[in-house]
Structures are given as C-alpha cells and as structure tokens.
Amino acid sequence: MNLLSSDIAALWLTLQLAAVTTIILMVIGAPLAWWLARSTSRFASVIEAMVALPLILPPTVIGFYLLIAFSPDNFLGGSWLALTGQSLAFTFSGLVIGSVIYSLPFVVQPLQSGFQSFDHKLLEAAETMGSGSFDRFFNLIIPLTRRAFATAALLGFAHTMGEFGVVLMIGGNIPGETQVLSIALYDHVEALDYQRAHWLAAGLLIFSFVLLVFLYGFNRNKGIRAG
Amino acid sequence: MSVNLNLNSLMDLSVKYVPSGDSNFSLALKVKLPSSGITAVYGPSGCGKTSLLRCIAGLAEAEHCQLSIGEHAIGDLPVTKRQLGYVFQEDRLFPHLSVEGNLDFAYKRRFSDEGPSKHEVIEWLDIEALLNRKPDQLSGGQKQRVAIARSLLTAPRCLLLDEPLAGVDSKARTPILFHLETVAANLDIPMIYVSHNLDEIIRLANHLIIMDQGQLVADGPLLNMLSRLDLELAQQENAAVVLNTRIAGHDGDYSLTHLAWGDSENGSLIIGQLPGAIGERVRVRIPCRDVSIALEEPNQSSILNVLPGVISDIELVDGARAIVKTEVAGQSILARITRMSLECLQLEKGKAVFLQIKTVALLSEHQ
C-alpha cells in the first residue's frame, strides 16, 4: 500500500501553504520584530502580547473568530468578496490568512531576539559611511542576524506544516483545495485506515525532526564559531 | 597631495543641542577652527565633547548645526550625505567581515574618487598583515587602526575622532599616535580630535578648543593655548609647552643635536641625537615640572639646557605652587616651582632669569 493521489495532493497543498505563509511572514514579521525590538512605547507590549496569543490560544478559538471575520457580512470577508469575487472561508487564500496569524509568533519572536542582540552602534558607523537604510538592512542586519532569520523561517514553515485546528475551522476538508496533511491523516484514522495514517504520521514526524536537527545543528556550529 | 591654498583659512562651526530628557545639559558653541590640520577638543568628561561630534556627524539631532567645509555645507544634510569620517571610541568594526571586507565596505561607498587609495591607507596605518583576519582576532589597538583606515577610505571631507585611544591599552597608544601623525601629514583634510588626555593633544594637535559644561572656554593655536596661565591646562600635573624648532647642528662626539628657534641665540636647546638634516623642523615638548629657575647662570650643573629669559607672568596654583611664564627668544616656557622659591628669589614680572630645563621630549618630525 502506497500513498494515494489524494495524499499526494494533500502533501503538495501543505507544502504550498507553508511556503506562501513563510514568505508572507518573513516580509511582515521582519519589520514588526524590528519595531518591537527597538520601541520603548508601552503600546509595544500590547502588540507583543497580541503576536504571542496564538502560542497559548486553542487553535479552534482563532479558527472560530476567523470564520466569523471571513463571513461576507463582515468587513474582511465582504471586502475580499468585493475585490476577488470569492469567499475567504473554505479557500486556499483563507488558509493562508489563518496560517499567517497562527504562525506569527514563531517567526516574530526569533527575529525579535535576534534584533535585540544586534549591536545598533554598527548601524551608526555604517550611516557615517554613507550607507542608506536598505544597504544597511541587506549588508549588515541580515548577515549579522542570519541565525535568527533561518530559525524564524524554518519554525514558521514547520509550524504551518503541522497546522490542524485552525484549518479545520476555516478551511474544512476539500481534497485538493483545503485538505492539508494533518487533516488527511485525521480522515484516515477516522476511517480506521491505519496503514495510510502511518505513512503520513511517520512522514510528518521524520520531516519535523530532520528540520529541527538541521536548525539546531546550524545554530550550534555558528554559535561556536562566533563565540 | 595638492597644494592647499586655504592653509590658514578658518571654518565657522556653530552648534546648539538640547538632548531630550536631560534638562541639566545643553550644548551651545560657536567657534572657528582651521580648515586643515588637527583641532583637538578638550574638556572634562561630560562636558559635551562627544555630543559636539555627534551633532556635527548628524547622529544627534541638533537644533542647529552649521559647518561648511569648503563649498560643502553639512548643516541640514542627513548623516549619510555629510561626507564625514567618524572614528568612535569603540572600534565598531563589522564582525562578519574580515579586515579587508571592512575596508572594502567603506571604499565601495566612498564619497569621491579623490580620497586616498586603499594601498596608501593600508600603508599609513600599517595593517597589511591584518587584512585577512576577522575583527575578533585583533587586539584593541589593531582594531582601532583598522577603524581609522576604514573611515579614511570613504574619502571624508573632515575626520571626526572621538577619543579613539580611550579603549586602547597604554602600550598600543604610542604607535597609533604615530599612525595618526602619518595620516595628518599625508592627508589634507581637517580633523577634529576629541580627548581628555593632554599628552595626546600636545602630541597631535595644531589647534585647541577647550569646552566645559557644553560651552566654549577658550580656543586658539595649541602653542599659544599651552602657555596661557588663565587656563586650567597650565595647572595640570602633566602641563607642558611645545616649541617649534629647527635642527641647528649635530654634535657627533656626544651624540647630541642642537635645536634653535627665533633669531636670537638664546633660543637653543640640546637634545639626544636626531637623524634629521640641518634646518629640518622639529617639534619638542617641555614639561613645566622639569623647568626650574635660577637668578644667576649656574656654571657647575649637569643640566645642559640653561636659557636666559624674562618673566612675563606668574600664577599661583595653590598654596604651595606657582607657575612662572618666561619669554625666551619669542616663545613662552612655563616653569612650575614652589611658592617658597617664588618668594625667596623675589620673582616678579619683567625680571631676567635663567631657566634650567631638565627634559626636552621630541614630539614629531612632521611639523
């Protein structure tokens, strides 16, 4: 017994979702983390708490509120419908929005701590040498916080791969459209098809483990060399 | 190097700065400084020296900051457009780049092609052997040499140095001072050197600005400033005067060199043998504590340098000591003596005396 086409479709969809989510998270997470790392305003701790909420909230709570927001009667769902002619609920776009919120802390927190340990005096030195803000970002900040960027991207990607509760609430279980790996796994267990469930479960387990070993190995080597 | 037509021209510097959140300190300064050579900014810590540099560089937001270097007015420009070099107290080298990578970072972003070449700068600061190292493999002195080199490679119109030797151990300081002299001799840009170390200033600077509590105390050419008795400089333990002299002759038998200044034969000193040719200019330093005063020419003494002069001013330092300013062939020399000697010898303005100078230190061959 091997993977069926529906399982392969679920795997492909999951990878696409994780990739798109990670890209979006890196783009919005980096400036947000930078602001959180540098801001002294009290407002920043409120934002920090909001970013961290998905860590402790049951995913079904996030999914429930997202489902309500996605309704065409509400602002988000309504504007999306008006713009694209599509509903957000039970679509890939909806899954992306849900995943971005759900995985946000996994990207922002490593970036924020990376930026906090970054020596801001170096930026002043670069500035006096005529280096503009983009130049400084790409040639100083990214290379000097590359561990934080790698950690953020890998954690964001891996966490989105394993998402279940939020997807179930807002995406349902449409094969090829919103059926991700964890939900396909759930279906197989429900159907008592343990052999296929094993394939998926073991695949996800090994994938996650390899990713983490790679990540920690990368950070350890860099840590020893830099220290 | 091109001939500098503005050798004696002055730049106007005007800065007003009130830091947010600190109501006890503000900086307000209006001063002229020469458009070439090294201008030292001296004052106690917390007097606003660093704030002054940060305002000039645009790193601190001044209410008002005006400085024109030639045609280039920096007042309202953003930091990245001011075209100034900044050497910080800490080296601030980029840790992910090698020494050469750090130099290239600056060189690729240089403000003009008229600045020094990489080759020149590497030679001036003697960092050829360090090029492949990472900053964390360098000593404090080496890091600061690389930092100075890096700031020069942007071809700055003016170099700002904020106590660059403060974090360097004392052994490594002298070589860096020498390298800075080499830079100053080769590069025709003004340098503003902030320091609270009088020895460094005496060695390097041509011009001096003294600050206290965010205000200007005094400014002028270093040589004049050092011999002014109304300034706190003359009362420092390591107070000294600097003389510009020329080599008048060599005494091969005793391995000595004769220096002279002015037209009268009174202006002459003997110093350990120097390599220079006759007529070459030499800058020497005479510490005030090493000068004593006699009313008659001592004829049996091991001290070689005995100069006749006329007292022009006397200042009491504390209950025990006094500083006596004496003119010798047109230059002033300070002597620090006890108040007891002052009274015993009945020293007063206009009196002719003999100065016995125990040590004469060579400062530089570049001047």
Residue A227 is predicted with a pLDDT of: 32
Unique residue bearing structure tokens 């020469």: B34
Q: What CATH number does the domain containing B178 carry?
A: 3.40.50.300
Q: Which of B26, B42, B148 lies closest to B86 in space, CA to CA?
A: B148
Question: Looking at the DSSP assignment, which residues form a beta bridge with residue B362?
Answer: B284
Residue B300 is predicted with a pLDDT of: 83
Q: What digits encode the pLDDT tens for the residues A205-216?
A: 999 999 999 888
Same domain membership, residue B205 and residue B257: no
Q: CB-CB: which of B80, B90, B92 is closest to A130?
A: B80
Same domain membership, residue B172 and residue B27: yes
Q: What digits encode the pLDDT tens for the residues A161-178?
A: 988 889 989 988 888 888
Residue A226 is predicted with a pLDDT of: 42
Q: What CATH number does the domain containing B328 carry?
A: 2.40.50.100
Q: How far apart are CA B324 and CA B329, in angstroms?
A: 16
Q: How far apart are CA B9 and CA B11, in angstroms?
A: 7
Same domain membership, residue B41 and residue B185: yes
Note whether B105 contacts A122, CB cutoff 8 Å.
no
Q: What digits encode the pLDDT tens for the residues B178-225?
A: 999 999 989 989 999 999 888 899 889 999 999 999 999 999 999 899
Please state the ipTM of this predicted complex: 0.81
Give the C-alpha distances (Å, rounded to integers) separating B190 from B4, B33, B34, B205.
Answer: 12, 9, 7, 11
Please check whether residue B334 is in contact with residue B258, taking contact to mean a CB–CB distance below 8 angstroms.
Answer: no
Per-residue buried b or exposed e for B21-40, using 16+ beta carbons within 10 Å of the residue's own CB: eeeeebbebebbbbbbbbbb
* Strands in B185-338 per DSSP E: 191-195, 207-212, 215-221, 240-251, 256-260, 268-272, 281-287, 291-294, 305-316, 321-328, 331-338
Note whether B80 contacts A: Cβ–Cβ < 8 A.
yes
Q: What digits encode the pLDDT tens for the residues A25-53?
A: 999 999 999 999 999 888 999 999 999 99
| Phi (first) and psi of residue A226, to 5 degrees | -75, -30
Domain ranges across chain A: 5-226
The A residues from 116 to 155 touching B (CB cutoff 8 Å) are 121-122, 124-132, 135, 139-140, 143-144
Q: What tokens does A157 get?
A: 């990607």
Same domain membership, residue B190 and residue B129: yes
Task: Enter the pTM of the model.
Answer: 0.84
Q: How far apart are CA B100 and CA B198, in angstroms?
A: 33
Same domain membership, residue B185 and residue B264: no
Q: Is residue B147 part of a domain?
A: yes
Give A151→chain B minimum CA distance, Å: 19
Count of domains observed in chain B: 2
Helix (H, G, I), strand (E, B) or coil at B295: coil
Residue A225 is predicted with a pLDDT of: 44
Note whether B80 contacts A143, CB cutoff 8 Å.
no
Where does a domain end: B201, B226, B251? B226
Q: Is residue B138 part of a domain?
A: yes
Q: Is residue B324 part of a domain?
A: yes
Residues 6+ apart with CB under 8 A from B11: B32, B33, B34, B35, B67, B68, B69, B190
Q: What residues make up the domain containing B327?
A: 240-364
**How would CATH label the architecture of A5-226?**
Orthogonal Bundle (1.10)
Give A120→chain B minimum CA distance, Å: 10
Same domain membership, residue B104 and residue B72: yes
Residue B319 is predicted with a pLDDT of: 84
Write the DSSP symbol of residue B231. S
Q: Is residue B192 part of a domain?
A: yes
Give A108→chain B minimum CA distance, Å: 23
Tell me which residues of chain B have a pLDDT lower than 50: 1-6, 366-367
Note whether B90 contacts A139, CB cutoff 8 Å.
no
Residue A223 is predicted with a pLDDT of: 53
Same domain membership, residue B251 and residue B189: no
Q: What digits encode the pLDDT tens for the residues B221-262?
A: 998 999 999 888 888 888 999 998 999 999 989 999 999 998
Q: What digits encode the pLDDT tens for the residues A107-158?
A: 999 999 999 999 999 999 999 999 999 999 999 999 999 999 999 999 999 9
Q: What digits encode the pLDDT tens for the residues A62-118?
A: 999 999 999 988 888 889 988 988 888 889 999 999 999 999 999 999 999 999 999
Same domain membership, residue B263 and residue B219: no
Helix (H) or strand (E) holding B153: none
Amino acid identity for residue B116 in this structure:
P
The B residues from 146 to 205 touching A (CB cutoff 8 Å) are 150-151, 154
B118-125 and B99-108 helices, crossing angle to 10°: 140
If one counts every other C-beta atom within 10 angstroms of the C-beta of residue B216, the result is 15
Helix (H, G, I), strand (E, B) or coil at A114: helix
Q: Is residue B195 part of a domain?
A: yes
Same domain membership, residue B244 and residue B202: no
Same domain membership, residue B220 and residue B87: yes
Note whether A126 contacts B83, CB cutoff 8 Å.
no
